[in-house]
Each structure stands twice: as C-alpha cells, then as structure tokens.
Amino acid sequence: MNALLIILGLFKSPDVYHSTLTYGTLLLLPALGGVISERSGVVNIAMEGMMLTGAFFAVVADLAWHNVWLAVLVAIIAGGFMALIHAVVSIRYHADQIVSGVAINIVAAGLTVFLLNQFYGVQEIGSVAPQFLIPNIKVPVLDAIPFIGPIFFEQNLVVYIAIILLVAINIILFRTRLGLRLRAVGEHPSAADTAGINVYTLRYGAVIASGLLSGLAGAFLSIGLSNTFVPNMTDGRGYIALAAMIFGKWTPLGAFAACLIFGLGQAIYDNTSIIPISPYFLSMLPYILTLVVLAGLVGRSIPPAADGIPYEPGNE
Amino acid sequence: MRHLRFRFLALGVVLMLAVPLVAACGSTTGGGGTTTGKTIKVGLVTDTGGLNDKSFNHLAYTGLLKAEHDLGVRGDVLQSVTQTDYVPNLTHFAAQGYDLVIAVGFDMQVALGQVSQTFPNTHFAIIDGSPTDANFNPVPRANVLSLFFREQEAGALVGTVAGVLEKDQKTPKPTGVISAVGGQKIPPVDRYIAGYQWAAKMADPSIKVLVGYSNDFTDPTKCSGIANSQFGQGSDVVFQVAGGCGNGALQAAGQKGVYSIGVDADQGFVDKSVIVSALKKVDVATFDAIKFIQDGSLPPDYQATGEAPCVASTRSCTEFLFNLKNGGVGYAVDNLNPLPSDVQTAVTNLENAIKAGQQTPPETVS
C-alpha cells in the first residue's frame, strides 16, 4: 500500500513523464521501422540486430572522427545495410522472412562483439566525450512552461526528430498516394502489380527505411543515452518494439502508445531506490503494464494480409 | 500461416537467448615471457559482463596477462554472454586438460559446483564465491580455491569520503543525501554498499543513503536511469557497484554536475565526476591463484584464515581472503585530488582502525 502511494506520488513530478517519453522514443523508432516494413508485406523481426549494429558503429565513428553528426549518419547507414541484407534475402530470394530476421539478429550480436575485439582488443573501447554526444536541446521559451516544459521541451534531439517522423510517417502512410501504394503492396501485391505499382521497389524501400530508423535508434542508445558500446546493449529493445508494433495494430500512433506504456514501466523502475518493492518484481512492471493495458483495451491485432508472403508475379 | 509466424517468433526468441554461443567464441592465446616455474595452462571464463566490462572481468584478465608475462604460463579466455554458457565454458577448459580453470564471479557458483565435481583432478579457482549445488548450498571441493574480498572495507573508505564531504557541505548540492546503484542484490555487491552506508552514517549521522539495484551488470542506460532518479531525490554523490551498467551512473553524475564513486578498478578515466574509486584487486587475486597452482607459494603478506589451511604440496586450499590489511582491497583518489584535508584524515584513520581490527564494517545492507 505504502509502495503504491510512493509510485502514485511519482506522477506529481515531471521527471517520470520526461523519462517515459525518452524511453518510449527509443522504442518508437524501430517500431516505426517495423510498421513501414510490415505494411509493405515484409515481416521484420530484425530491428534488434539493426539497432545493435547502429549502436556499435555510432560509437566507433564517434571515437574515430569526434563528430557526432557523422557518427549518427554512420549508424543510420549501418542499420540500413543490415536491412538491405534482409531485403535481398526475403524479397529477391523469397526466403522465409522470420528466419532471415533471426539470422540478422544473430549475425549482429556476433559481428559487433567480434569487431569490438578486433578494433579495440580487450582494452576498453573507451567512452565518447560529453561534447560529442547527441545533445539535449532546451527549446527556448517553451521550456519555461511549468510542468509541461521539462517534459516535452528539454529532451534529446533524437526525441524531437522521432516525434516529427511519427507524424510524417503517419501522414505518408494514410494520406498520400505513396502510402496507399505501400499498403496495397502489403495487402494484395498482385492487384497492386496489375495496377502498375512496382511491388519490389516499394518493398525494398520499406525494409531499408526500417533499417535506417533502427540504426538511428541504435545511435540514440549508445551516443545519446549512453556514451559507450557494451556487447548486446540493445537488450531486447528491438523485440519490445516489435511487440509494440503488433499491439499498436501496425499503425504508427498505436505503436507509439504501446512504446509509451513500456517506457512508463521503465521510468517507474528507475525509482527503485525509493519504492519498497523487490527490484525483481519491479523489473517485471513494463511487461505487466503492457499485458494489462493492451489485453484490456486493444483486442485483436490483424496484420496486413500479405505480410510475410514473398511476392512472385503470376503465382496466385 | 499465422500460427507458423508465431511459432517462428518463438523460435526467434529462443535463438536470441542462444546468441551468446556465437558471441562466446572470442579467445585469446598468450605465452612467452620469462619462465620461472612449470609451464601450466590456465583457462579463464568470464561472467556475462565479458572482458570489455571496464572493471571486474577486465581486471581478472589483466591478472592473467601478468601471469603469462611474469610466470610464463599459457592463458586462454572464454567469454560468457548468458548464464547458460558457464557450464560449457568451464567444461571446455577442464576437458582439454588445463591445469587451472578460473571462474570469474559469484554468478558462476552453481556451474562451478557441477563442473568441479565432474573433473576432480583439475584445479579450479572462483572469484567472489564458492562452489554450490543448484539450491545455492555450499558444497566443499578439495580442488576449488575461493578468492574472497572484504569489499565492505573498501566500501567503508569511499563511504567516509562521501559522508565527510556531505557533512562539510563540500559536495556539489549539499542536501544530506547520497546514494548507491548496485547491479544485483548479491553478497559481493551488498558488502560494498554495506560498508559505504555504515561509514557514511558514522561520518554524518543524519545522512540519508538511497540504495537501488538495476538487476543488470551490462546496460549503462539502466543504471543512468536509476542514478538520475536518485539525483532527483537529492543525492549528490553516487557509488556505482554495477560493473559496465554502473558506468552509466558515473556518466549521469557527470551530466548532472554531481559526484560519483567508481568501483573495482580505478575508474577516474571513465568520467570527470568520479572523485574516488573503491578498489578490489581482482588482478592481484587472479595472479596469486595462478602462482599458487604453479609453484605452491602463498600470496605475499597473506594471513591464512585459520579455518582454511593451504597445503602447498597438493596445491589444495579452500580460500584466499583479500582485505585492506594485505592490500587486496583499497581506494584510489581520482578527480578530487587532493582530498580536503579533514576527509583525508578521516579516511586514513578508518583505514588504520580497520587494519588494526578496531573497526569492523558490516557485511549486509541495513
């Protein structure tokens, strides 16, 4: 009871909302990638691996060139490259997309540790100096708004970018011709093909976009929230993003809501020092919260009809 | 197709857990140097922190490298990424006829209990633990050497630094609150925190010590999150006892402009906020264990505990205990150098009192 009061007390301060938005955004980027990819009909469970690759190369580039923008770019490209492998294997060679995704995740975990030891030996990889991290940005004027300001306008640069991307992707997907075509390709590729839409091009683009977004999330993790790379540092976040995408019914806004719930659980866990509950129990909170809220409110999720089915012209 | 999809998803999750098998393959070989004793083969198995953890496992590896160079032993390393790697990795070295297999960490107690029974003629050493059965009950094994540390003594010294600074209002935002972030609520972590808490309260009876556990030794964002929440509660000195995860707490302290305290290794280089570090000389312990197995010599300045006599001829020894007195634990002054004179005096006084047996820091967090 006492613990419950303390948890409720957390909500009086903007800190917990601030952390929720930060952690939620970290999941939102790969979740958006998943939405785009699966809306085009390519199952993508490889966000974890793309994110991990991005996180690793962000640190490598930042340590080598001392330029955070270059590092972010390298991370995005690295994520995109992993996605390209997934795209070629599953679109061009019609391989099972789940198996390909699992392979990408395993390769990323092994490759980053291997390269870490190749590049740096067993010496420390070192940490990125504070001035070369992705900056936190206070929005002038707006950050002075009581309560709201500290939550929304004192965030990391990536948070603002992610919110803009969220809105943009939602508009593109549901309000533009490109989005309509993308969804058509994911629902009924042969009909789309008949209508003159290039199924392969759209799918390639969508899968690569998911890699770019996941790579950015990786950079946010390693040189935004942290300042170094640690083996397997994504720690299942790509899979949580995958779950958020499914719970969010393959829509950007739904996925964002799910990400915020996961983020809230993590934000509450951060206060473990003052909550008199076993940390082991408390660490289940993000998952319990998700189950309760989503099972209670969301109901059945139905994926795009052609999700996971390789497109072969004339093979209907 | 839907059912298939989710069956594959389950497969994916299983494979995610199996990833360590791929990652656990990095091994190094050493050798050469001046040979003073018998050339023995030493296998080192890291815990899930891996060699790049900047503290605990890294120090064990440093000890192995020194043994390769100074004693002419041959060393090999297997890194574990999940707990399921422990038994296969330990077995790998034992089955290959290594003379000494070193398990790095409390986490490997159960695995070691199992493997040391299967290979009774192989020598094993474990840092921070002793062999146990699956229910964590100790099982005595003549072929296992436990390397224990009195972490509470090192914790007490850095706790004095935090406590006196707080009492003098010389911390960045003096509010009478300090904190610690532990990786997991396990004895080696809690001994550090217990000493820290005890000494800080002795220096400043009104001080409040917040303690949080991340349940993680690798992910820096988890520890930075917990540290940030503690700063929100008024803490302006944070002691990290969470390996690679805890480095996130040091970084968070730097960003907030408050003080932090490093652990195990001298961590002053990790962040400018690190004022002192609590040292645990895992490298010395590793080296001493290798030397004992090679030529039967006990660590210099080593005081046998009495209950655990060591037999040099059979290389049989239950336990080495490293403490302040024999230099196995200690502290290093980092980015607050020199310490204010009254802080330095308090630390030196406590250090002498512990060495003389006049003060005994507690082992458990109150």
Rounded to whole angstroms, what are the CA distances from A113 to A140, A298, B51, B80? 41, 39, 11, 12
pLDDT at B81: 79
Question: How many Cβ atoms are within 10 Å of A116's Cβ, its own excluded?
Answer: 23
> Is B212 within 8 Å of A273 when comparing Cβ atoms?
yes
Residue A263's region, left for phi above 0, alpha for psi from -120 to 50, else beta, is alpha
Question: pLDDT at position B37, please?
Answer: 58
Distance of alpha carbon A307 from alpha carbon B137, whole angstroms: 51
**Does B359 touch chain A if contact means CB atoms closer than 8 Å?**
no
Query: What's residue B82's pLDDT?
Result: 84
Determine, for residues B244 and A230 on separate chains, whether the beta-carbon distance falls below 8 Å: yes
Cβ A137 vs Cβ A160: under 8 Å: yes
Judged on CB neighbours under 10 Å (0-12, 13-18, 19+), A316 is exposed
Question: Does B233 sit within 8 Å of A230, measured CB to CB?
Answer: no
The pTM of the full predicted model, rounded to 2 decimals, is 0.85
Tell me if B219 and A230 make a contact (CB, 8 A cut-off).
yes
* B63 contacts chain A (CB < 8 A): no
| Chain B residues 230-259 with a CB less than 8 Å from chain A | 230, 232-233, 244, 247-248, 251, 254-255
Nearest by CB to residue B226, choosing from A48, A236, A273, is: A273
Query: What local confidence, expressed as pLDDT, does residue A47 receive?
Result: 96
Dist. CA B108–CA B129, nearest whole Å = 8
Q: What is the C-alpha to C-alpha distance for residues A74 and A69, in angstroms, rounded to an integer?
A: 9
**Radius of gyration, CA atoms only, chain B:** 21
Closest by Cα among A267, A266, A242 to A255: A242
Give the separation between CA B290 and CA A272, rounded to whole angstroms.
Answer: 40
Q: Does B10 touch chain A (CB under 8 A)?
A: no
Query: Which tens digit of pLDDT belongs to each residue from A93-117?
Result: 999 999 999 999 999 999 998 898 8
SS3 assignment, position B124: strand
Mean pLDDT of A202-228: 96
Q: Which of A23-32, A76-85, B34-43, B147-156 has the lowest mean pLDDT?
A: B34-43
Sorted by where each starts, the structural domains of chain B and their CATH numbers stand as 18-149+282-322 (3.40.50.2300), 153-278+336-355 (3.40.50.2300)
Of A99, A232, A279, the CB nearest to B81: A232
The confidence score (pLDDT) of residue B284 equals 92
Question: By the 8 A CB rule, do A151 and A17 touch?
Answer: yes
Of B13, B81, B226, the CB nearest to A272: B226
Residue A281: which residues within 8 A CB-CB, separation 6 or more? none
What is the pLDDT, as a whole number, of residue B303? 60
For helices A177-187 and A14-39, angle between their N-to-C axes, nearest 10 degrees:
70
When CB atoms are compared, the residue of A45, A109, A279 closest to B12 is A45
Sorted by where each begins, the domain ranges of chain A are 29-255
Contact residues on chain A for B228, CB-CB shorter than 8 A = 15, 19, 270
Cα separation, B290 vs B123, in Å, equals 10
Asked if the Cβ–Cβ distance from A122 to B254 is below 8 Å, we say no
Angle between helices B109-118 and B86-95 (to 10 degrees): 30
Q: How far is CA B146 from the centre of its chain?
A: 13
Model confidence pLDDT, tens digit, residues B332-366: 999 998 999 999 999 999 999 999 999 999 999 97
- The tokens for B316 are 């049989």
Check CB contact under 8 Å for B229 and A270. Answer: yes
pLDDT, residue B311, reads 79
Q: Chain B partners of A236 at a C-beta cutoff of 8 Å?
A: 16
Residues pairing with B212 in the sheet = B181
Task: Identify the closest residue of chain A to B254 by CA–CA distance.
Answer: A130
What pLDDT score was predicted for residue B35? 42
Note which residues in 15-44 of chain B have CB less than 8 A from chain A: 15-16, 18-19, 22-23, 25-26, 28
Residues in chain B with pLDDT values less than 50 = 1-2, 17-35
Report pLDDT digits (tens) over A188-211: 999 999 999 999 999 999 999 999
- What's residue B123's pLDDT? 95
> Percent of chain A at pLDDT above 70?
97
In the predicted model, what is the mean pLDDT of chain A?
Answer: 91
Closest partner residue to A122 (CB to CB) among B61, B251, B254 is B61
- Rounded Cα distance between A130 and A133, Å, is 5
